[in-house]
């Protein structure tokens, strides 16, 4: 859990993903389209990826990826991010966290 919190606090936007996850790819593409450059952590490429996966599940991320943090706070998984985008609040959150500047 400490590793997740440490990594999540190092950049304004952080996404924990798996390289084979299509929803992860979609969420990353959305962030890039909005002008953000999130830190991406591919759990299937990390030596401690399994433990990180379990920690994300304990945080409430179900499924465990993608798990999105903005401003160091857990925001949610793909369905949460899509909902925030559709109601217009995702962009505001990214601006407030300093992930985008417009």
> What is the Cα Rg of the chain in Å?
12
Closest CA to 70 of 86, 91, 54: 91
Give yes or no for a contact between 13 and 39, defined as CB atoms under 8 angstroms apart: yes
pTM, 2 dp:
0.94
| Residues composing the chain | 102
- Partnered with residue 39 across adjacent β-strands are 14
Q: Give tens-digit pLDDT for 26-77.
A: 999 999 999 999 999 999 999 999 999 999 999 888 888 999 999 999 999 9
pLDDT digits 0-9 by tens, 19-39: 999 999 999 999 999 999 999
């Amino acid at each position: 859990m400490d590793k997740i919190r440490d990594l999540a606090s190092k950049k304004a936007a952080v996404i924990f993903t798996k390289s084979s996850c299509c929803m992860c790819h979609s969420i990353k593409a959305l962030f890039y389209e909005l002008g953000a450059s999130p830190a991406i952590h591919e759990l299937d490429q990390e030596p401690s990826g399994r433990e990180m996966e379990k920690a994300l599940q304990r945080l409430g991320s179900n499924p465990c990826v993608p798990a999105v943090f903005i401003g160091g706070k857990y925001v949610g998984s793909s369905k949460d991010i899509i909902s925030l985008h559709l109601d217009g609040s995702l962009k505001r959150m990214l601006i407030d966290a300093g992930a985008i500047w417009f």
